[in-house]
Amino acid sequence: MAFSMFLRNQACTSRIFTQQVMRLATQPALAHRTVASTLPVRSLAIKDAKLTPILNAVRSLRSSAVRMSAEKGHDHSKLWVVERAVSAALIPLIPIALLIPNKLFDSLMAILITAHSFWGLEAIAVDYVRASLFGPVIPKIAIGLVYLLSFATLGGLFYIITHDIGLANSIRQFWSVKSEQKA
């Protein structure tokens, strides 16, 4: 895409640049080899394939409209707003949950922390474990592991909330153990 943007640049659309590219592209040996190897089979049915410039092949790589425009599109801007709302809600929720420990604040904090962590880990898995680098199977395994880790985290936090002293009290107890060891 960056290359196609470069070709749309004013310097690349000038008459002198176009003439130089056309002269290079229409050289018989280079044009036949490059056009035959880069263009789709249906475009080889052109009358004189030896004189077809490479520039036309490059222009066909331009960015186009969204392929799935006929299908129902996904509105990721709403998810972005929800992610930011969860992040903003965690700022006052964590101190409130630590000051007033109860199951409601603990549960809300567990859900929001897990959702926040899930979206971050999912973004990492999608961005860095791509099918073009690892093949079609490993990215699916990575996303599956993100889901598994998120479910296990939420389940563990709810277990602490319901069967133990609670999330906020666990954090308080952890801090008190640390401070007693120093003294």
> φ, ψ for residue 53 (rounded to 5)?
-70, 150
Give span(s): CATH 1.20.1300.10, the chain: 74-182
* DSSP codes joined into one string, the chain: -HHHHHHHSTTTTSHHHHHHHHHHHT-HHHHHHHHHHHS-GGGGGSTTGGG--HHHHHHTTS--S-GGGSSPPP-HHHHHHHHHHHHHHHHHHHHHHHHS--HHHHHHHHHHHHHHHHHHHHHHHHHHS-HHHH-SSHHHHHHHHHHHHHHHHHHHHHHHHHHSS-HHHHHHHHHHHHHHHH-
pLDDT in tens, the chain (183 residues): 455 555 566 665 567 766 666 666 666 654 444 444 444 544 444 454 455 555 555 444 444 444 444 455 667 789 999 999 999 999 999 999 999 999 999 999 999 999 999 999 999 999 999 999 999 999 999 999 999 999 999 999 999 999 999 999 999 998 887 555 565
- For residue 61, the model assigns a pLDDT of 44
- For residue 75, the model assigns a pLDDT of 73
> φ, ψ for residue 46 (rounded to 5)?
-65, 150
**Annotated binding residue 128:** yes
- For residue 175, the model assigns a pLDDT of 86
Whole-prediction pTM: 0.58
- For residue 141, the model assigns a pLDDT of 96
- For residue 110, the model assigns a pLDDT of 97
- For residue 44, the model assigns a pLDDT of 45
- For residue 77, the model assigns a pLDDT of 86
- For residue 182, the model assigns a pLDDT of 60
- For residue 176, the model assigns a pLDDT of 85
Say if residues 84 and 112 touch (Cβ distance below 8 Å): no
CATH code for the domain defined by 74-182: 1.20.1300.10
- For residue 26, the model assigns a pLDDT of 65
**Annotated binding residue 116:** yes
